[in-house]
Chain A
Amino acid sequence: MTIEELYKASGDDYNELLGRLFNAKLIEKLVKKYRDDQNYKQLCDGVAQKDREKVFTAAHTIKGLALNLGFGRLAQTATELTEATRNSYPDNVPELFAAVQKEQDNILALIDKLD
């Protein structure tokens, strides 16, 4: 799978991303690097420990990364979790987290298929 096919499969706009970053090689490098990013692990730990601050910080960073990398649905779900945990730790965190998890798994599965 090429990087363009990855974005097509994830429902995102590769050309929009290229129009912002101007560097196809960099995009591919960053996307591959995202596979090893530790923020998602931080998020899982935070949810397991019900640590509001940890969840908020990790979700916020994932939101920023997803925005930068053009992963629209991941950005959207991470934003919802960020806003929910900004000041408190509501009961629906597990559901919001599950939504992030689904998009994260989807992206990682696609990255594994890259050439």
Chain B
Amino acid sequence: MGTEKTRPLILITDDSDINRMILADMLEDDYDILEAESGKEAIKIVNEKRNAIDIILLDCVMPDMDGFEVLAELERNWAKEDIPVIMISAESDQSFIVKAYQLGALDYICRPFNAVIVRHRVDTIMRMHLKEQHLANVATSQIMDKHVNNHMMINILSSIVEFRNGESGQHILHVQNLTDMLMREMLRITDKYPLTDDEMSMIPTVAALHDVGKISIPYHVLNKPGKFTEEEFNLMKTHTTIGYDMLTELPTYQKDPLIRMAGQVCRWHHERYDGKGYPDGLVGDEIPIAAQLVSIADVYDALTSERCYKEAYSHEKAMQMINNGECGTFNPILLQCLNNLGDKIPEMLDNSSAEEMFREDIYRIIENTLRAPQHRSQ
């Protein structure tokens, strides 16, 4: 995304200094100029300057590494940065031009240079590129703002509930982060549970709401240090259905996908894969995948945190208890994900920022959307 600059930076790559001087003279009024006298030097400069370079002018025929090889190298390593490239050459053979386009060049200028034409074409490509970047940034910030606001309100609400539960505010963050990590690992190792981009961003967000139903559980039950009586346990269990009812009966938002998913997570995050959970005794994949993910994250964090009725267990002990089925049966694929994450979990729980990952995801999605229609011909 880069910092604000007053003048765009252009990299002129040509083995002939006279040609570089001509181009520099044409462009120096409006551009800052870097020069490379070979393909190798151009790649080196791009590697060093990364996203500081706004546009590349590239000669075709050069000794050692020619312009086509430079294009291929850029496409391999820098496709993400997507620096626009204009090829320049004395070559007017159309097959050269086609090859340049196929390798990702946006335009092709033949010698002899004409200052008006060179400036116009460079300006046009530059304007298009800046507009595209600007659009991507604007769209990203707007989506981010909306997300941050949603996220903030959800976190405030769930923190209030957690506070009353006598649990630390960390619990929500941990459940969100671990849910996110498990989800990504799941998507990495299997395509059994495909998720849309929207679902991917919603699951960790709604994870925060899994216990909102506890707001209706009397304080003395919630924070009872000893073992529950059967009656108390039955009351405690109702936090799942109460949370579900609270969310799904919200008059205005009944059809909102986020609220619907939050409702599922509230209701079914205590279900177990073998059907022995509550409140509905759902079996296997009858339990929505979002609720399955949150249930493992919730159990892991409950085990490794101190509660009014227990000490905190170590990561190793918690993993052992979950794998032994001491906290009920989980989806074997998700257990595999948990085990794959393994020892990285404790560190990542506190360090990973779901917010940052989310920003990268959004930016990627928007870039893909913007670039889709003009995708390069093969």
Contacts and interface: CB of A to CB of B under 8 A. Distances in A.
Interface string A44-71: 0000000000101100110111011110
Given A57-B62, A61-B16, A61-B61, A26 B25 contact: yes
B112 A68 contact: yes
A37 B114 CA distance: 22
Contacts of A20: 112-115
Contacts of B25: 21, 23, 26
A34 interface: yes
B1 interface: no
Nearest to A37: B18
A23 B116 CA distance: 12
A19 B114 CA distance: 8
B61 A33 contact: no
B112 A57 contact: no
Contacts of A23: 25, 115
A76 interface: no
Q: Is the interface of A mostly helix, strand, loop or mixed?
A: helix
Interface residues of A, number: 24
B21 A26 contact: yes
A57 B63 contact: yes
A3 B199 CA distance: 70
A14 B62 CA distance: 28
Contact of B19 (A19, A54, A56, A65): A65
B110 to A, nearest CB: 9
Nearest to B113: A68
Contacts of A34: 18
B15, B61, B62, B112 interface centre (most CB from chain A within 10 Å): B112
Contacts of B61: 56-57, 60-61, 64
B22 A64 contact: no
Contacts of B19: 64-65, 68
B90 interface: yes
A54 B18 CA distance: 19
B317 interface: no
B90 A21 contact: no
A67 B61 CA distance: 15
A53 to B, nearest CB: 8
B141 interface: no
Contacts of B21: 26, 29-30, 33
A65 B17 CA distance: 10
B89 A64 contact: yes
**Ordered nearest first, which 3 A-B pairs have the shortest CB separation?**
A64-B90, A67-B112, A20-B114
Given A37-B17, A57-B61, A69-B18, 20 more contacts: A20-B112, A20-B113, A20-B115, A21-B25, A21-B26, A21-B115, A29-B21, A54-B63, A56-B61, A57-B63, A64-B16, A64-B59, A64-B61, A64-B89, A64-B111, A67-B90, A68-B18, A68-B19, A68-B112, A70-B112
